[in-house]
Amino acid sequence: MLSAWNFLKRHRRKLLFVGAAAGGVYLLGRYAQKKIREIQEREAAEYIAQARRQYHFESNQRTCNMTVLSMLPALRDALMQQLSSESLTSLLKSRPSNKLEIWEDLKIISFTRSIVAVYSTCMLVVLLRVQLNIIGGYIYLDNASIYMDFFFTPSQTVLAPPEVQQQYLSSIQHLLGDGLTELITVVKQAVQKILGSVSLKHALSLLELEQTLREVRQVVECSQDPSRTEKVESRSPLCRYMMPDEENPLTAQACGLTEKDVTTIKLLNETRDMLESPDFSTVLNTCINKGFSRLLDNIAEFFRPTEQDLIQSNSRNSLSSVGLPLAKIIPIVNGQIHLVCSETSSHFVQDLLMMEQVKVFAANVYEAFSTPQQLEK
């Protein structure tokens, strides 16, 4: 015992240093374990949040697809009501004296409603992608408690209550109502300008028909809204058919509208901002190009050449070897609305919904409105 005590007295400083060092290492180890555990828990929470967000996004895209398909019958009915060709075809069966005049009207109506069907279906696909991903982003934030704890106070209301969602999404009716009527007027004038003087007996090849549609598109897509004095370089001229004029939330509040009404107006104005972006114009134009390409593919089925046509043309390129009189093309074009605006087994709509550009754009919109920074605005 005495020797041990002497050893401790002689080496007490060293022992104190070793003890302190050991204690420090122990405390440091405990601290490191705590930090590692916190990092792991934070990473796990972030992974879970990201997985939840991804699941919500994918579910939202399925909702977008189902919503588009569910609205196609209403769009088709609205088009067929405003551009009815059935009454004209019934008149033709009775062999009236003004048969030529009826055929001329049928020519304009048939081309107008098929072209409008392509435009309006593409607009419906892209506009709903914007609206449902904006509202989907807000719904995700409302449901994400991990973000609520940081950013919400007990006095704050949710970003997108059900009443606001309903009001906001009902704005799609503009495209099916006044917007569609205005689009029909513009397209009808363009068709009259390009095809009005073309004889019913004039034969058109598929390439010539493609050129005709291109000329109609150029007239329609270069038309400007006369009610807008300002010029927005990136804004598509087709935007005015999708949403009415912008509303001022402050003016609306001054007019006695509720807070939910003002919130809805804010969402609508955010949607207009998206519609006026270069990305939206690019995606919409890509969809429209795809839509008219699919329309021509459908019509091409009726331009299949016979063996004699191929021999006479001395070429395997049949696009210009077969021509059909315009009078025979009119019924073909007239029936395309049932393929373009079909909610079942429609390659036309499926092509649009599955386009990579549409998916990427939808993801970008959802990303912009489902991040916590959106709450700070």
Euclidean distance between CA atoms 357 and 363, whole angstroms: 10
Angle at which helix 206-221 crosses helix 99-143, to 10 degrees, equals 60
The ranges of the chain with pLDDT < 70 are 1-49, 145-157, 224-235, 246-256, 305-321, 345, 372-377
* Beta carbons within 10 angstroms of residue 374's beta carbon: 18
pLDDT at residue 195 in the model:
95
Strand partners, 203: 325
CA angle 47, 49, 52 (to 5 degrees): 110
pLDDT at residue 119 in the model:
97
Euclidean distance between CA atoms 348 and 164, whole angstroms: 32
* Beta carbons within 10 angstroms of residue 332's beta carbon: 17
Q: Which two tokens stand for residue 26?
A: 């122990």
pLDDT at residue 154 in the model:
47
Q: What one-letter code names the amino acid at 299?
A: I
Strand partners, 324: 204
Q: What one-letter code names the amino acid at 152?
A: F
Name the one residue in this structure whose structure tokens are 């300002």.
Answer: 230
pLDDT at residue 318 in the model:
55
The CA–CA distances, whole Å, from 291 to 119, 243, 297, 348, 355 equal 8, 21, 10, 7, 11
pLDDT at residue 315 in the model:
52
pLDDT at residue 131 in the model:
95
pLDDT at residue 151 in the model:
45
